[in-house]
Amino acid sequence: MTVTSEKRSSSAIPMAIVATLFFILGFATWLNGSLMPYLKQILQLTPFQASLILFSFYIAVTFTALPSAAVIRKVGYKKGMALGMATMMVAGLLFIPAAKSQIFILFLLAQLVMGIGQTLLQTAVNPYVVRLGPEESAAARISIMGILNKGAGVIAPMVFTALILSNFTHLVGKELTPIEVDEMANGLIFPYLGMAVFIGLLAFAVLKSPLPELENADDDSNSNGKEQIKQALAHPNLALGVIAIFVYVAVEVIAGDTIGTFALSLGVENYSVMTSYTMICMVIGYILGIVLIPRYVSQAKALTVSAILGVLLSLGVLLGSNESYAIANAVLVPFGGAQLPDTLLMIAFLGLANAIVWPAVFPLALSGMGKLTSTGSALLVMGIAGGAFGPLFWGLASGSSFGQQGGYIVMLPCYLFILFYALKGHKMRSWS
C-alpha cells in the first residue's frame, strides 16, 4: 500500500462520520423552511414576526462562534462535536413546551438553543473537511459534504409535510379555530421529540467513535484569543471572506426558508415542501462543483459564475409575474410536477447559484492562515449570522410597500459583494 492510499484509507472513517454530521446539520437547519410558514399560520404572525424564527436561530452564531472555538481548543474537536449535538438535543426537547403552550417566545428560545448547538458543531466539523486532504481540492470535499447537508434539506421538508402538515393542507388560507390551532401545534411534539432522541444517541456514538483528534494548530501559548482574532483579521482574504459568508448565508436562507412563506401568501397548498425545491437545486450545484472543481474550473471562477447567476435570478424574481407558469409548464408539469409560479421557481433556482459559494469561499478565506486556521474558521462560521439578518431585512421590506415579492430586493447587494470577493477580494494579502 502506498503512502497516498494509506492516507486515503485513514481518512475514510473520519470523513464518513463527518458526512453523517453534515446530514444532521442540514436536516435540523432546513426544517426552518417548513417551520416558519407553519408557525406563521398557527400564531397569525406578520412577515416580520415570522422572520424572527430564523433570526433567533442564526443570531446565536454572533455570540457563540468565538466561544465555540475556545471550547474546541479546550476539549478538542471530537468532544466539541458531541457537545454541540447534545445542545441540539436540548433544543429539540424545548419545542415540546413551546408547542403545548403556543407561546411565541418559547419557540424563539428553542430556535436560539438549536442555533447555539449548531454553531459549536459547525466550528468543530468544518476544519476536518478542509484539513483532511489537499487544500486545492477542499472545495470538492466541502461540496460532497454539501450534497449530504442539502440532501437533508430536500428530505426534511418532505418529512415535515408527511408527519405534520399532511392532515392540515385543507386549512391553507383559512382562519383557524382554537381547536385547529391546538391540533396543528400538537403535531410538532412527537417529531421534535424523536429528533432530540436521535441526535442525543448520535452524540454518544460520536464520543465513543474512533474519530481521530486533529492537531490543534491554533495552540499558541504566546497569544490570547483577542490577539489571534486581530492577527486573523489582518489577512484581507479572511476578513472579506467573513463578509462574503455573511451575505451568502443571508441569501441562502432567504432562498431556502422564505420560499414557503411566500408560497403560503400565494395560496400554494403544499407550501411546506417548497424548501425542497431550493435544496434540490443546491444539490445539483454541489454535484457540478465536485465534477468541475478544480479540474475544469477554479474555485474563484466558479464563485464568479455563481454570483452573476444570483444577480440575474434576483432580478427575475423582482420583475417576474406571479401569474406566469411558463417555467413549471416547461420543466415540471410534463413530468407530473406541480404548476407553480415562475417567481417561486426562480427563488428555488437560487439554490443553484448559492451551492458553490460556501465551498469556494471557505478554503479561499483560510488560505495561508496556518496556526490561525481554527480562529479563522470560527470567524467564518460567525458569518452564518447573515442567516439572521437576511430574512429579517426581507421581512421588513415585505411589510412595506414592496410586498413579499419586492422584499427580495435585499438579495442584490449580497450577490454583488460575492462577485467582488470572487474577482478581487480573495486575492488581497494586505490592506495597503
pLDDT in tens, 143-162: 678 788 878 888 988 888 88
Written in H, E and C, the secondary structure of 135-169 is HHHHHHHHHHHHHHHHHHHHHHHHHHHHHHHCCCH
Within a 10 A sphere around the Cβ of 6, how many other Cβ atoms?
10
Among candidate residues 40, 12, 358, 326, the one with its CA nearest the CA of residue 171: 40
Please say if the pLDDT value at position 373 is more than 70. Answer: yes
Lowest mean pLDDT, pick from 40-54, 245-259, 342-356:
40-54
Among candidate residues 63, 110, 103, 61, the one with its CA nearest the CA of residue 87: 110
Q: Which domains does the chain have, with CATH numbers?
A: 8-209+224-427 (1.20.1250.20)
Distance, CA of 59 to CA of 187 (rounded, Å): 27
More confident residue, 200 or 223: 200
Residue 353 in grid coordinates: 447559484
pTM: 0.79
**Chain mean position to CA 228:** 26
Residue 18 in grid coordinates: 463527518
Among candidate residues 143, 384, 373, 366, the one with its CA nearest the CA of residue 241: 366
The answer to whether 374 and 216 have CB atoms below 8 angstroms apart is yes
Q: What is the mean pLDDT of residues 184-189?
A: 88
Among candidate residues 122, 123, 408, the one with its CA nearest the CA of residue 251: 408
pLDDT of residue 423: 93
**Burial grade of 338 (CB within 10 A; 0-12, 13-18, 19 or more):** middle
Give the pLDDT confidence of 49-98 residue by residue, as tens digits.
Answer: 989 998 999 888 778 877 888 888 888 888 899 999 999 999 999 999 99
Please say if the pLDDT value at position 99 is more than 60. Answer: yes
Give the pLDDT confidence of 10-54 residue by residue, as tens digits.
Answer: 567 777 888 888 888 888 888 888 888 889 888 989 888 989 998
